[in-house]
Amino acid sequence: MSMFVIGYYAALIAASCIAAYFQNRQAFMLLFSLTLVSFVLGIVGGVPALQGVTIFAGILALAAGTSYAFREFLIQVSRPAIAKELRTAPLTAAFGMFVIFTYAIAGIFAPWIAPFGQSEVIASAFEPPNEDMLLGADQLGRDMFSRIVYGARNSVGLALLATILAFVIGALAGLYSAVKGGWLDQLSGRVADVIMSVPSLIFALLMLSIFGTYLWVIVVVVAIIYSPRVFRLTRAVAGNVVVMDYVEAAKLRGEGDWHLIRKEILPNSTAPLIAEFGLEFCFVFLLIAGLSFLGLGIQPPTADWGSMVRENATLISFGDITPLIPAAAIALLTVAVNFVVDWMLFRSSGLKEQ
Amino acid sequence: MNKPQSKSVLLEIRGLKIDGYSDETWVPIIKGVDLTLRRGEVLGLIGESGAGKSTIGAAAMGYARDGTRISEGSIEFDGMELTTATSAEKRALRGSRIAYVAQSAAASFNPAHKLIDQHTEAPLHYRIKKRMEAQEDAMELYERLRLPSPREIGFRYPHQVSGGQLQRAMTAMAMSCRPDLIIFDEPTTALDVTTQIEVLAAVRDIVDQFNTAAIYITHDLAVVAQMADAIKVLLKGEEVEHAPTEKMLDAPEEEYTKSLWAVRSFKRPQKSRPEDDSKPVISVQGVDAAYTGGAKVLDDVSFDIYPGMTVAVVGESGSGKSTAARVITGLLPPMKGEVLCRGAALPPRYQDRTREQLRQAQMIYQMADTALNPKSRISDIIGRPAQFYSGLKGPMLKQRVDELLDLIELDPANFYNRFPPELSGGQKQRIGIARALAAEPEFIICDEVTSALDQLVAEGILKLLDRLQRELGLAYMFITHDLATVRSIADEVVVMQNGRVVEQGAKEEMFTPPHHPYTDLLLSSVPEMDPNWLTTLLEERGVDNIGEAARV
């Protein structure tokens, strides 16, 4: 019986007792069932298992603490109207915002943060982490950490660009279809159907092999693949707004379509569009990562998380987790964006009434 | 209606306080209301919207809606305390001993199930009756409520019966377990006057026949006068006055109650057409119209609107009133006939009209909520037409907006930068009027502008419209189904039925007999403050001749 194990159980039981004393039923049930589970776990897995639980709980607590502090920070620095909205954000959303904020900082200030250039060869291939290199070297001896930081700029920047373009195309077409109706609506609807009927990865591969793997081609192709989804959503949302009396009033005033879209319809359909933006961003990001993994996305030596997974993939058979780091970076961002989107969807739907 | 006062108490509410959750704090909505209801008694709850009528109605079932909580007080139903009862206990009461009839039957029935299946759900669930028994009982209730072909109507889906029938079916459904208490939450507000009568008669029959106690929630005084033994007036979550119906009508004590009673007194002198040969500002001539692929909605409709006059267009829903407005504005090009503006034909489609032509005719909408862009500032909503038609900019525009806000009696400094959702219903409607005025039109279409508002607020709007007409010489086309409004504001009346104009003329003429039979039906269906009005009317018409059965 080590001191650790004694301390572990003592802490858990003390916490359960405090929870019970303050009548916090949920917390008590959680803590005490964890204590019971730990008995079994301690017998089966020994001290390492309990240490694992402690570390996991510590990480969770740290993340929760960071999220809480970050939310308070955002509330303090933003204007009263926004601060009021932010107060309603759950911790998961705050965590998501924190991660997005961190990635943004890493992407924007990449040249200053990264200790080496993204294509700089500074060590031998697959060198393990040391004082100079936080995460070791990749297959050509480039610093893994620097490449991850640059990757935030390249991958995320490209995905952001493609998503924005997809939104501009899809939302404009959707809004015009909703306002105009008639043949324009039919035509754009059918075009969207055609694009959606082609499997996206195959369509992207086809286009990229025809036009070559330039950055602008990737952006345009990905934007075209994802714009029909935005189109459909926008058209549905705008369709509900177009029938409102205030739009009719503006039409009868003799306002042009552009005014209708910009002043009357768009401000009343932003909430679902913003939520969709977050979701689409994840899909676009994953598609670009997938393309890069297949070698058709961002071309070497530019650092990109998708291709970094592929280039270092051989290392996984030696039990090294290096290739999983860029994959984890992708996963973390996707989860973070989804946390924020969940909160926004929750707000824009009527669910908040409870 | 005179029941002995010694009957046992069914529902007793003492010091009820209810909080609502808004802006992350609990705000009191009901501030201590007492209520006693005996078996077989009908209590009318009356007040403006936001007075807490429906909240009290729900609380009588021990129910607090989402975002509200019962914070204090006691609700005792037949010896059982509902505030502390478990949800299972309360659930056992609802549907079997306490029933609820909602405002919109069309929205409250499940469209995917037949009426009778929904009717028998509660008796089956509580094992009060077997399915066949319950169905037999449903048919019997349908018959008592004078629904047409009571043995078959239950097997239809909600969309296959009319609104009035649906509301009666819902009342029958509430009776399915023979509850001790029914809560009627504005059951006739969404209905036309002619359909309203049949529902009122049905509700009263049921309550009389089964000696059921009821809480009748409404904002229409004349309706409550027909139904209730006693009336309770509410204002902002507090009781203003409580008295038996007769006494309440004859001698109200509180100032607020008196003002409610006085609302219908607003009346202004009738104007007549100008003597000189000035052309009508809008003239609708022999218009036929239909929506795409549908049957004719307007059939040879003609009427004239002269400058400075108010023409009321009345009729039930579906009579083509609003369609006529859509034809005038150019939203629906007519199949035949034309619309003249000061003698010159207007292009049928609004897209083909010039700015000047569009400016002439403005609209004020029924639902101020959907008529104002919730994401635009008041200054933009009102300023945009002024900027669009007159090209005003900068300080000139601001001055014009201030002028308009003054005109509609709202303080510019206070409202200039606000958004529509922050305003009350009456204020929104005023902003809607200001937007129409900003275009400096000669003619305004008012589409049921007061029907979504409380009576006091509606009266304020009518007075405002009248003042504006006198000051600016506007012509109004006033679409409404409320004949009280017509009486107070109109100069001429056009009665429409099934897309045809059945009668038109000056108001005084229209309100003095002899009438066209349809006008007569409409006029006699308007509830009056006399508590015996419904009884007398039913005697005159005969029980089989009310509502839809009285079609001419």
Q: What would the two tokens of residue B446 be?
A: 């008012």
Q: For the residues A26-49, what does the mean pLDDT come to?
A: 87
Distance from CA of B77 to the nearest CA of A (A): 27
The answer to whether the CB atoms of B358 and A353 lie below 8 A apart is: no
SS3 of A58-121: HHHHHHHHHHHHHHHHHHHHCCHHHHHHHHCCCHHHHHHHHHHHHHHHHHHCHHHHCCCCCCCE
Which pLDDT value is given to residue B92?
A: 84
Q: How far apart are the first and last CA of chain B?
A: 32
Query: φ and ψ at A301, to 5 degrees?
Result: -90, 10
Q: What would the two tokens of residue B131 be?
A: 């399915």
> Out of A245, A253, A255, whose CB is closest to B370?
A245
For residue A87, the chain B residues in CB contact (below 8 A) are 24
| pLDDT tens digits, A250-296 | 988 888 889 889 888 988 888 888 888 888 888 888 888 888 888 88
Which pLDDT value is given to residue A163?
A: 93
The answer to whether the CB atoms of B331 and A248 lie below 8 A apart is: yes
Which pLDDT value is given to residue A69?
A: 93
Task: Say if residues B297 and B459 touch (Cβ distance below 8 Å).
Answer: no
Task: Say if residues B493 and B478 touch (Cβ distance below 8 Å).
Answer: no
Q: What is the DSSP letter of B44?
A: E
The answer to whether the CB atoms of B373 and A353 lie below 8 A apart is: no
Q: Give the residue among B312, B308, B284 at the shortest CA–CA distance from B298.
A: B284
Which pLDDT value is given to residue B552?
A: 43
CA gap B410, B402 in Å, rounded: 9
The answer to whether the CB atoms of A245 and B367 lie below 8 A apart is: yes
Helix (H) or strand (E) holding B181: strand B181-185
Count Cβ neighbours within 10 Å for each residue of B156-182 and write b for 16 or more, e otherwise: bebeebebbbbbbbbbbbbbbbebbbb
Say how many CB pairs under 8 Å bridge A and B: 56
Distance from CA of B355 to the nearest CA of A (A): 6
CA distances to A348, A349, B22, B421, B534 from A353, in Å: 11, 9, 10, 17, 41
Query: φ and ψ at B514, to 5 degrees?
Result: -80, 145
CA gap A36, A32 in Å, rounded: 6
User: pLDDT grade, residue A94 (50/70/90)?
Assistant: very high
Task: Say if residues B523 and B487 touch (Cβ distance below 8 Å).
Answer: no
Distance from CA of B500 to the nearest CA of A (A): 26
For residue A253, the chain B residues in CB contact (below 8 A) are 358, 384-385, 388-389, 439
For residue B370, the chain A residues in CB contact (below 8 A) are 244-246
User: Hey, is the C-beta of A245 within 8 angstroms of any chain B C-beta?
Assistant: yes
Distance from CA of A80 to the nearest CA of B (A): 13
The answer to whether the CB atoms of A253 and B439 lie below 8 A apart is: yes
- Residue B144 CA, distance from chain mean position: 27
The nearest alpha carbon in chain B to A257 belongs to: B351
- Report the residue of A86, A237, A247, A253 to disrupt the B interface, i.e. the one with the largest count of B CBs within 10 Å: A253
| pLDDT tens digits, A135-185 | 878 778 888 888 889 988 888 888 989 999 999 999 999 999 999 888 999
Nearby residues of A82 by Cβ (< 8 Å), 6 or more positions away:
none
For residue A249, the chain B residues in CB contact (below 8 A) are 363, 365, 371, 435
Distance from CA of A260 to the nearest CA of B (A): 11
Query: φ and ψ at B315, to 5 degrees?
Result: 160, 165
For residue A252, the chain B residues in CB contact (below 8 A) are 329-331, 350, 358, 362-363
- Report the residue of B354, B375, B448, B479 to disrupt the A interface, i.e. the one with the largest count of A CBs within 10 Å: B375
Please give the residue that has the higher pLDDT: either B142 or A81.
B142
The answer to whether the CB atoms of B370 and A252 lie below 8 A apart is: no
The answer to whether the CB atoms of B66 and A251 lie below 8 A apart is: no
Distance from CA of A98 to the nearest CA of B (A): 24
pLDDT below 50 — which residues of chain B?
A: 1-5, 549-552
Helix axes A182-197, A215-242, angle to 10 degrees: 130
Which pLDDT value is given to residue A351?
A: 47
The answer to whether the CB atoms of B365 and A254 lie below 8 A apart is: no
Which pLDDT value is given to residue A353?
A: 41
Which pLDDT value is given to residue A292?
A: 83
In this structure, are strands B443-447 and B500-506 parallel, antiparallel, or unpaired?
A: unpaired
For residue B292, the chain A residues in CB contact (below 8 A) are none
The answer to whether the CB atoms of B371 and A267 lie below 8 A apart is: no
CA gap B126, B93 in Å, rounded: 10
Residue with structure tokens 């349809």? B518
Distance from CA of B455 to the nearest CA of A (A): 23
For residue B330, the chain A residues in CB contact (below 8 A) are 252
For residue A263, the chain B residues in CB contact (below 8 A) are 373, 376, 380, 384
CA distances to A166, A331, B381, B539 from A222, in Å: 8, 20, 39, 75
